Amino acid sequence: KIPILIDCDPGHDDAVMLMLAFGSGLFDIKAITTSAGNQTQEKTLRNALKITSLIRADIPVYKGSEKPLFRELIIADNVHGEMGLDGPILPEPVLKPGLLSAVEAMAAILTESTEKITLVPTGPLTNIATFLLAYPQLKAKIERISLMGGGAFRGNITPTAEFNIYVDPEAAAIVFRSGVPITMCGLDVTHKALVFQEDIELFRAIGNKSGQVVAELMDFFSIYYRRERPELDGGAALHDPCSIAWLIDPSMFMSKPCYVDVEVNGTLTAGTTVVDFFDVLKKTPNVEFVYDIDRKKYIQLIYEAVKGLP
Ligand code: BDR
Ligand code: CA
């Protein structure tokens, strides 16, 4: 099993990412830490616990930072709703968060581990950046960072910036400049990782509680995409599970090594990932930049994982 540590802000697609990670049976999920992003820290933490309770995953969940490093928090309630996970009626979580903070938990887990651990962030990078600054000696224990964020050719919160990077650009810059190998699933690939109504019906037809929840999450999530992204032909961009799917089967994706940095102070482009796709700068690549996906295989992978859940 691949040892991983997940940092997320559930969030509809984060919730499906957690189900794929746990349901695949391929990962040793050391912990889940929560970032403030799609909703406030209080809500993303509760949502992470609701999902682990639903899928009966005995994974410790730790509370992360309440705000970006230097900025006020921006949330995506227009996409994810008032609770951050609107749509299905989920019972209050039976599981409780751990006593350590997200960053303390990351440090303890990496210190104790005899093997390197992959970090999987699918929200703003505040916790990961704080951890890298506070514990530089533990960088060597990180195998890779497989993240959802950014994009080379488009943005979704400004014309050029993607939400997770835009919420905390300083944190993203720290992560991209850290020297740790990064796999970046940005909007270039995630806007091809689409879920359509017929896929949603397949999840509903599985007949278990998790399949029903995935279907109801995607019903809600699709409302935004159909209204705001008609060019996706009724599909909703299922972003976050890409960062887990790439770890399971990179052959499902097209990618290439690129040098990537983050624009922190641009007047038009703050929070943009600047991807040197054509290697103009001749700098050593720091990122495996993912830009295409076999969509059918992706949905099938998630389907199989959800089928095995409660
Ligand atoms: C990212 O922003 C969030 O709304 C999603 O969960 C995803 O991580 C997409 O831009
Ligand atoms: Ca997310």
Burial 1-14 (b: 16+ CB within 10 A, else e): ebbbbbbbbbbbbb
- Calculate how far, in angstroms, residue 122's C-alpha sits from the geometric centre of ligand 2: 4
Q: Which atom of ligand 1 is nearest to the CA of 11?
A: 6
Instruction: Give the model's pLDDT for residue 148.
Output: 99
Half-sphere exposure of 106 (CA within 13 A, CB side): 32
Ligand minimally distant from the alpha carbon of residue 225: 1
Measure the CA–CA gap between 166 and 268, rounded to whole angstroms.
12
- Per-residue pLDDT at 157: 97
Question: Which bin fits 84, alpha (ψ -120 to 50), beta or left (φ > 0)?
Answer: left
Q: Using the atom order of ligand 1, give the atom closest to the CA of residue 187.
A: 10
**pLDDT (average), residues 171-177:** 98
**Predicted local confidence at residue 131, as pLDDT:** 98
Instruction: Give the torsion sign (CA, 129, 135, 136, 142).
Output: negative
Q: What is the pLDDT of residue 282?
A: 98
Q: Is the CB of 64 under 6 A from ligand 1?
A: no
pLDDT value for 156: 97
At residue 202 the predicted structure's pLDDT band, cuts being 50, 70 and 90, is: very high
Output the pLDDT for position 113: 98
Q: In this predicted model, what pLDDT tens digit does every residue of 40-72 receive, in sequence order?
A: 999 999 999 999 999 999 999 999 999 999 999
229 C-alpha to ligand 1 centroid (Å): 14
Percent pLDDT > 70 in the chain is: 100
Specify the ligand 1 atom closest to the Cα of 79: 4
Neighbouring C-beta atoms of residue 111, cutoff 10 Å: 11
Are the CB atoms for 222 and 232 separated by under 8 Å?
no
Residue nearest to atom 10 of ligand 1 (CA): 163
Residue of 122, 128, 158, 167 to test ligand 1 pocket, by largest number of atoms within 8 Å of CB: 122
Cα 266 to ligand 1 centre (Å):
22
Q: Is the CB of 47 under 6 A from ligand 1?
A: no
Q: Phi, psi at residue 28, to the nearest 5°?
A: -100, 95
* Mean of all residue pLDDT scores within the chain: 98
**How sure is the predictor about 212, in pLDDT bands with cuts at 50, 70 and 90?**
very high
Cite the active site residues: 239
ipTM: 0.99
Distance 34 CA to ligand 2 centre (A): 10
pLDDT single digits (tens) 83-116 = 999 999 999 998 899 999 999 999 999 999 999 9
User: Mind giving me the DSSP string for the chain?
Assistant: -EEEEEEE---HHHHHHHHHHHHTS-EEEEEEEE-SSSS-HHHHHHHHHHHHHHTT----EEE--SS-SSS-----HHHH-SSSS-SS--PPPSS---SSBHHHHHHHHHHH-SS-EEEEE-S-SHHHHHHHHH-GGGGGGEEEEEEE---SS--SSSSS--HHHHH-HHHHHHHHTS-S-EEEE-HHHHTTSEE-HHHHHHHHHT-SHHHHHHHHHHHHHHHHHHHH-GGGTT-EE--THHHHHHHH-GGGEEEEEEEEEEESS-TTTTTEEEEETT-SS-PPP-EEEEEEE-HHHHHHHHHHHHHT--
For residue 67, count other CB atoms closer than 10 A to its CB.
Answer: 15
Does the beta carbon of 163 lie inside 6 Å of ligand 1? yes
Question: Is the minimum distance from the CB of 24 to ligand 1 under 6 angstroms?
Answer: no
Instruction: Quickly state the pLDDT bin for 164 (edges 50, 70, 90).
Output: very high
